[in-house]
Amino acid sequence: MKQFQYVKASSNAGVITAISKPGTKIIAGGTNLVDLMKRGVTAPDRLVDITHLPLKSINITGKGLHIGALALNSVVAENALVVEKHPLLAMALKAGASPQLRNMATVGGNMMQRTRCTYFYDTAMPCNKRAPGTGCGAIGGINRMHAIFGTSSKCIAVHPSDMCVALAALDATVIIAGPKGQRTLQFTEFHRLPGEHPELDNHLATGEMILSVEIPDNNFAKNSYYLKVRDRQSYAFALVSVAAALDIQNGVIRGARLAMGGVAHKPWRLFEVEKSLIGKKPTEENFAQAAQLAMQGAKAYEYNAFKLKLAPATIAEALKHASGLV
Q: Given the rule CB under 8 A, which residues bind another protein?
A: 1-3, 38, 40, 98, 116, 118-119, 121-125, 137, 140-142, 144, 227, 229-237, 239, 306, 309-310, 313-314, 316-317, 326
* Closer residue to another protein in complex, CB, 16/318: 318
Burial level of 210, CB count in 10 A (0-12/13-18/19+)? buried
Q: 3-state DSSP helix/strand/coil percent for the chain, to nearest 5? A: 30, 25, 50
Supply φ then ψ for residue 120, to 5 degrees: -65, -35
Q: How far is the CB of 2 from another protein (least distance, A)?
A: 5
* Closer residue to another protein in complex, CB, 81/308: 308
Q: How far is the CB of 305 from another protein (least distance, A)?
A: 9
What type of residue is 314? Answer: T
Q: How many CA atoms lie within 13 Å of 115's alpha carbon, on the beta-carbon side?
A: 36
Q: How far is the CB of 73 from another protein (least distance, A)?
A: 16
* Closer residue to another protein in complex, CB, 37/270: 37
Q: Where are the alpha helices (DSSP H) in the chain?
A: 12-19, 33-38, 73-78, 80-85, 87-95, 99-104, 107-112, 118-121, 163-169, 271-277, 284-293, 306-323
- Tell me the C-alpha distance between 169 and 223, whole Å: 13
Q: How far is the CB of 164 from another protein (least distance, A)?
A: 18
* Closer residue to another protein in complex, CB, 140/216: 140
In 290-300, which positions are buried (b, 16+ CB within 10 angstroms) versus exposed (e)? bbebbbeebeb
* Closer residue to another protein in complex, CB, 71/117: 117
Q: How far is the CB of 212 from another protein (least distance, A)?
A: 28
Q: How far is the CB of 234 from another protein (least distance, A)?
A: 4
* Closer residue to another protein in complex, CB, 83/313: 313
- Tell me the C-alpha distance between 249 and 270, whole Å: 21
